Amino acid sequence: MEDEPLVQNPQVRRIDPDIVRVLAQGEKQLVDAVFASILAISVRLDEFCEDVEGRAAPSNVPSGDLLSERDSASSNNEGVVGMSTAKVALVSGAGQGIGRGIALQLAKDGFDVAVADLTFQEEKARGVVAEIEALGRRAIFVAADVSKKEDVVAAVDAAATQLGGFDVIVNNAGIAQVKPILDVTAEELDKIFSINVNSVVFGIQAAADKFIELGVKGKIISAASIASIKGFPILGAYSASKFAVRGLTQVAAQELAPKGITVNAYAPGIVGTGMWDLIDEKLSEINGKPRGQNLKENVESIALGRIETPEDVANVVSFLASEKADYVTGQVLLVDGGMLYN
C-alpha cells in the first residue's frame, strides 16, 4: 500500500472528490504542503522556546545584586555540589575569627563559599560550612596551607569545580608574631612572610588565572592591618608583612586592571579574635602587665570606644566583594573604629 500512488487508493477516492482532484494534480503538491506546515510549526516552536528561556533565566536567580547570570553550576563538572546561580567566593583562614565572619557575611550576601583552612582546623571549618548551609547557601571545606602555592591553586580549583564558578578570593589567613625587632630570628621571618605575604602572592596568581580561564571580572581581597599603614613596636615582622600586603595590592591592582580584575585589602584595627589573645599574652610576657591589660589599653585608644568584631570587618569585605566596589581598586580600607587617619 505504501508504494501505491495515493490517488489510486480506493480509501482516498472515497473521502472527497475535491481532495482527490487536488491529489490527482500530483503527490508533490501534498508533500510540499506538509513540509510547509512542518516549517511553520518549527519556526513557532523556536520563537516559543526563546521566549520561555528569556523569561525563565532571571526567575532562577535569587534576589540580591551580587548574583551572577550564570545559568547553573556546570553539570559536567565532577563533584559539583548541587546546582546554583550564585557567585562563588573562597575565604582562607575561615575556620575561625575574621575569616569565619567574612565567610558567613558573604553567604548572607548570596555567595556560595569555599571555607579554606589548615587541616587541624577541619572540625571548626566544617562547623562554618554547616552555618553557611543553614543560611541556604552551598559551602565546602578545603584543606589548604596558604604558604604553599600548590595548596592555594588546588583550593581555587576545588572551589570552582565543586561550586560551579569562581568570582572572589579573600586572602585572609595570617599569623601574628610579638617580638622585639632585635630578637626576631631568620626562621621566624621566613615563617611570617611565607604565611602572610607569599600566600597573598599565590592567592592573587591562582585567582587571576581562574578568573581569566572562566572569563570572570573577579575580585581579589586580602587581609592587611593598621600595621600595614604604621609600624607598631614589638610587631616588627608582622608590620613588615602587612606593609608588603599593601604593596602587593597596589601593584596587582594596576597589573590586573586591564583584565577587569580588582584588587583591594581591608585593614582591621583590634579585633577580638584568637590573634589578639596571643598578642595580649605575648605583650604581658614582655612588659609584665597583667593578662588583658594590654588589650584594654589598646581598646581605649579607639575613637568609637569598643573592640572591633569580625562582623565589623566582614561588612567592609562585603562591600569590596560586591558590584558596589566595581570602581574601587588598589585600596587598603581601614576598618579600625578610628585609630589611624589616612
**What are the residues whose beta carbons fall under 8 Å from the beta carbon of 42, sequence distance 6 or more?**
none
Between 86 and 176, whose beta carbon lies closer to ligand NAD?
Answer: 176
For ligand NAD, the binding residues (CB under 6 A) are 92-93, 95-99, 117-118, 121, 144-147, 172-175, 195, 223, 225, 268, 270-271, 273-276
Please, what is the minimum distance in Å from the beta carbon of residue 85 to ligand NAD? 29
Between 86 and 195, whose beta carbon lies closer to ligand NAD?
Answer: 195
Task: Give the count of beta carbons closer than 10 Å to the beta carbon of residue 201.
Answer: 17
| Per-residue CA distances from 145 to 151, 277, 338 (Å) | 6, 22, 33
Please, what is the minimum distance in Å from the beta carbon of residue 328 to ligand NAD? 19
Please, what is the minimum distance in Å from the beta carbon of residue 134 to ligand NAD? 20
Please, what is the minimum distance in Å from the beta carbon of residue 327 to ligand NAD? 25
Please, what is the minimum distance in Å from the beta carbon of residue 99 to ligand NAD? 5
Between 85 and 241, whose beta carbon lies closer to ligand NAD?
Answer: 241
Q: What is the enclosing helix (H) or strand (E) of 12?
A: helix 10-15
Between 86 and 173, whose beta carbon lies closer to ligand NAD?
Answer: 173
Between 172 and 249, whose beta carbon lies closer to ligand NAD?
Answer: 172
Catalytic residue numbers read 238
**What are the residues whose beta carbons fall under 8 Å from the beta carbon of 298, sequence distance 6 or more?**
270
Separation CA 197–CA 199 (nearest Å): 5
Separation CA 240–CA 179 (nearest Å): 13
Task: Give the count of beta carbons closer than 10 Å to the beta carbon of residue 206.
Answer: 26
| Per-residue CA distances from 75 to 82, 151, 168, 286 (Å) | 9, 25, 21, 57
The 139-143 sheet, strands edge to edge: 139-143, 112-117, 88-92, 168-171, 219-223, 262-268, 332-335
Between 85 and 222, whose beta carbon lies closer to ligand NAD?
Answer: 222
Set of cell numbers at residue 26: 500530483
DSSP 8-state symbol, 228: G
Please, what is the minimum distance in Å from the beta carbon of residue 209 to ligand NAD? 19
Separation CA 68–CA 168 (nearest Å): 12
Phi, psi of 108 (to 5 degrees): -60, -30
